[in-house]
């Protein structure tokens, strides 16, 4: 199995069904198959070795994904929010290749991306040209069949670079197919089902959604630029049944519905979220606003071809309704590992597997796990385990709790502290809607605990009331050891996130150190 076989099956069984929709423009599964074949023929020039796409989500995106797969070259979606120098560094890794982008950027980049003396080149084309040529009546499809090699590289995804320069994660055909087969049944979607996709193309969830939606037969409605109001309007107009958002998006949707008792989306049967930490207050409000919707928290990484653990709808309902503190806490967990994936938590120093409740490094193993970077090789150990670099623990029932990157651990006087543990406590305070905890230099202890807190509007107006520095310090002290109490707390109007929901802890740390 590979991506093209998935599309071939869909086109053969559901050829007239709409696959992707962008505004009023639509592609059926048969049209997508034909367009992918036409693109593959154009890429089959003997020198192109990559297809990069620097653009928002349009109908050119799925054509690009499957066309590159048919041609046997990697597809690389690039972050269109990066600066030109940052993009130049990524594009340099994709020689020789073809870059597809919007017309304005193509005009700007075209003069820079010309053949070099050693024969390497990046040709630049526009989204409009790709759509026109691949969808033209009678367009020639690539005659050579696609490769059946499961180890062929399907997608190159550059990591977000929140802790350093972006690296190209290698997702091979076998990794993506393993994810799809482990999570979706073929033709499981009803013809009326519609999925709202607002995740950027360069996020692993965006790539996984394309493959899984095609396999299930679900119509994908693309939303290129997210706003809570546009998301709600589109979901209502298109009778959306399934959607995926990152936590920051869901928080904005909840805010947009402030004062309402119901979101007014009876068609929405399933809402999945992931890509960052979900505050308890946000998911609780969302479950009240969407009472008929099944919520799923999906935890995964670029290197694992998307989801490796799920907190399913029943898990949400049971935790939400429970009066038991332990059970209710599972609402902020990422659930349990997929049946096709193994997860263990290991001691950061010894590498030994830890029992339930013990905090350490999360490791994962399974067919969908790549753990490979271009130019750096595989980071899987001899037994196939991948170190996610995420800290956390498993409870006695096997629910996985995340505590952030282990690189962010605060070392105070030789004691390791998880910022996520302290953030969780701060977020239980009624006046706190977001929080970030970092370590800052301290002469006596090496590092001190500092927190940046975003208050709810009512708490912010109260000034030195219940959401004061002293109150929040006491709140943490009463629930954790005194050494974990933030010695410094600042109030910000918002925290810095990437557009895919990752907290930019590095920026918070830098800002606090500059003002210390």
For the chain, give every domain's residue range. Answer: 3-171, 298-405, 409-516
Through-space distance between the first and last CA atoms of the chain, rounded to whole angstroms: 56
Residue 465's pLDDT band (boundaries 50, 70, 90)?
A: very low
- In tens, the pLDDT along 69-102 reads 999 999 999 998 888 888 888 888 888 899 999 9
pLDDT value for 163: 47
Tell which residue, 510, 449, 514, has the closest CA to residue 480: 449
Angle ∠(175,181,185) on CA atoms, nearest 5: 155
List the beta strands (DSSP E) in 165-302. 168-172, 194-197, 219-222, 242-245, 270-273, 294-301
| Other Cβ atoms within 10 Å of 92 Cβ, number | 11
What is the largest distance, in Å, between two alpha-carbon atoms of the chain? 74
Distance separating alpha carbons of residues 178 and 182, to the nearest angstrom: 6
- In tens, the pLDDT along 234-276 reads 999 999 999 999 888 998 999 999 999 999 999 999 999 998 7
298-405: which CATH topology? Luciferase; domain 3 (2.30.38)
Least confident of 52-61, 176-185, 298-307, 421-430: 421-430
Average pLDDT of the segment spanning 167-182: 94
3-171: which CATH topology? Rossmann fold (3.40.50)
Based on its alpha-carbon atoms, the radius of gyration of the chain, rounded to whole angstroms, reads 24
Residue with tokens 């290698």: 170
| Other Cβ atoms within 10 Å of 138 Cβ, number | 5
Q: Write down the mean pLDDT value for the chain.
A: 90
- Note if the pTM is more than 0.85: no
The CATH homologous superfamily to which domain 409-516 belongs is ANL, C-terminal domain (3.30.300.30)
- Reply yes or no on whether the pLDDT at 227 is more than 60: yes
pLDDT value for 462: 54
List the beta strands (DSSP E) in 153-259. 153-158, 168-172, 194-197, 219-222, 242-245
The residues, any chain, with a CB within 8 Å of residue 368's CB and separated by 6 or more, are 175, 176, 178, 179, 182, 304, 305, 306, 308, 340, 341
Torsion angles phi and psi, residue 513, rounded to 5: -70, -30
Angstrom distances, CA of residue 369 to CA of 74, 246, 273, 281? 18, 22, 20, 32
- Note if the bond before 178 is cis, omega within 30 degrees: no
Residue 420's pLDDT band (boundaries 50, 70, 90)?
A: confident
Distance separating alpha carbons of residues 82 and 273, to the nearest angstrom: 24
- In tens, the pLDDT along 361-406 reads 999 999 999 999 998 899 999 999 999 988 899 999 999 998 777 7
- Reply yes or no on whether the pLDDT at 464 is more than 50: no
Distance separating alpha carbons of residues 69 and 129, to the nearest angstrom: 20
Average pLDDT of the segment spanning 415-434: 85
Distance separating alpha carbons of residues 194 and 242, to the nearest angstrom: 6
Q: Where are the alpha helices (DSSP H) in 385-447?
A: 419-427
Distance separating alpha carbons of residues 441 and 446, to the nearest angstrom: 6
Q: State percent of the chain over pLDDT 70.
A: 95
36-68 CB burial, b ≥16 within 10 A, e <16: bbbbbbbbeeeebebbbbbbbbbbbbbbbbbbb
Angstrom distances, CA of residue 209 to CA of 32, 67, 203? 16, 17, 10
Distance separating alpha carbons of residues 174 and 263, to the nearest angstrom: 39
Distance separating alpha carbons of residues 309 and 337, to the nearest angstrom: 4
- In tens, the pLDDT along 120-147 reads 677 889 999 999 999 999 999 999 999 9
pLDDT value for 121: 72
- In tens, the pLDDT along 149-164 reads 999 999 999 986 544 5
Pair type for strands 400-405 and 386-394: antiparallel
| Total residues belonging to the chain | 516
The pair of three-digit structure tokens given for residue 294, joined into one six-digit string: 């099944």
pLDDT value for 408: 78
Average pLDDT of the segment spanning 317-336: 92
Q: Do residues 170 and 156 lie in contact, with contact meaning Cβ atoms separated by under 8 Å?
A: yes
Q: Do residues 197 and 221 lie in contact, with contact meaning Cβ atoms separated by under 8 Å?
A: yes
């Amino acid at each position: 199995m590979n991506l093209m076989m998935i599309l071939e099956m869909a086109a053969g069984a559901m050829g007239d069904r709409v696959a992707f929709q962008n505004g009023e423009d639509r592609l059926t599964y048969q049209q997508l198959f034909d367009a992918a074949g036409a693109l593959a023929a154009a890429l089959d020039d003997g020198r192109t070795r990559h297809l990069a796409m620097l653009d928002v989500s349009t109908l050119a995106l799925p054509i690009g994904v499957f066309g590159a797969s048919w041609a046997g070259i990697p597809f690389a979606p690039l972050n269109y929010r990066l600066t030109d120098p940052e993009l130049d560094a990524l594009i340099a890794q994709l020689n020789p290749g073809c870059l597809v982008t919007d017309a304005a950027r193509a005009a700007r980049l075209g003069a820079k991306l010309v053949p070099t003396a050693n024969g390497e080149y990046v040709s630049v084309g526009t989204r409009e040209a790709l759509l026109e040529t691949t969808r033209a009546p009678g367009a020639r499809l690539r005659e050579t069949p696609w490769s059946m090699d499961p180890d062929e590289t399907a997608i190159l995804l550059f990591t977000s670079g929140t802790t350093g320069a972006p690296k190209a994660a290698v997702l091979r055909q076998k990794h993506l197919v393993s994810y799809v087969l482990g999570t979706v049944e073929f033709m499981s979607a009803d013809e009326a089902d519609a999925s709202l996709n607002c995740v950027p193309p360069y996020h692993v969830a965006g790539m996984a959604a394309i493959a899984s939606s095609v396999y299930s037969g679900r119509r994908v409605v693309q939303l290129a630029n997210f706003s809570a109001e546009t998301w709600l309007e589109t979901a209502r107009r298109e009778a959306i049944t399934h959607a995926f958002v990152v936590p920051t998006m869901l928080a904005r949707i909840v805010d947009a519905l402030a004062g309402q008792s119901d979101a007014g989306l009876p068609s929405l049967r399933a809402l999945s979220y992931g890509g960052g930490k979900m505050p308890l207050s946000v998911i609780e409000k969302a479950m009240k606003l969407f009472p008929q919707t099944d919520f799923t928290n999906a935890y995964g990484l670029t290197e694992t071809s998307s989801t490796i653990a799920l907190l399913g709808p029943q898990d949400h309902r049971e935790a939400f309704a429970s009066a038991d503190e332990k059970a209710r806490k599972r609402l902020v967990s990422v659930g349990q590992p997929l049946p096709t994936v193994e997860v263990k938590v290991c001691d950061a120093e010894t590498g030994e597997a830890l029992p339930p409740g013990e905090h350490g490094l999360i490791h994962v193993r399974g067919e969908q796990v790549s753990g490979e970077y271009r130019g750096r090789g595989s980071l899987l150990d001899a037994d196939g385990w991948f170190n996610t670099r995420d800290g956390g623990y498993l409870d006695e029932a096997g629910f996985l709790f995340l505590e952030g990157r282990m690189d962010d651990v605060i070392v105070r006087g030789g004691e390791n502290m998880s910022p996520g543990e302290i953030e969780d406590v701060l977020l239980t305070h009624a006046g706190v809607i977001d929080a970030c905890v970092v370590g800052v230099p301290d002469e006596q202890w090496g590092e001190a605990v500092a927190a940046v807190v975003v208050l709810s509007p009512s708490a912010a107006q109260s000034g030195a009331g219940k959401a004061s520095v002293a109150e929040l310090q006491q709140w943490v002290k009463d629930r954790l050891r005194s050494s974990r109490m933030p010695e410094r707390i600042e109030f910000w109007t918002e925290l810095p996130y990437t557009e895919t929901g990752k907290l930019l802890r590095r920026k918070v740390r830098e800002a606090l150190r500059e003002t210390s």
